[in-house]
Amino acid sequence: MVKDFPLHSLEKLAKRVGVERISKEALIELREILLEIANDIARDAVEICSHAKRVTIKKSDVQLASKKYREKL
């Protein structure tokens, strides 16, 4: 997976939701999972955009793709 998503940003996010301490390994795993989810949503957004015969992904494409992703859960 891509490793250019800063761990520090994830740590700040975790602390914002109440996490007091989190290991580096947990942050790395969280990053892997979040990037996988983002890739799935982006891939679905591309399909939605293509189906609409557009080349530019819109906010609504991403919103619909993320809604579809959440429904899978």
Q: Are 62 and 45 in contact (CB under 8 A)?
A: yes
Residue 45: closest CA among 18, 14, 15, 66: 66
d(C-alpha 27, C-alpha 5), whole Å:
11
The predicted structure's pLDDT at residue 9 = 94
pLDDT at 73: 82
pLDDT in tens, the chain (73 residues): 556 789 999 999 999 999 999 999 999 999 999 999 999 999 999 999 999 999 999 999 999 999 998 998 8
| pLDDT number for residue 65 | 97
Domain 7-72 CATH class label? mainly alpha
Q: pTM higher than 0.75, yes or no?
A: yes
pLDDT of residue 3: 64
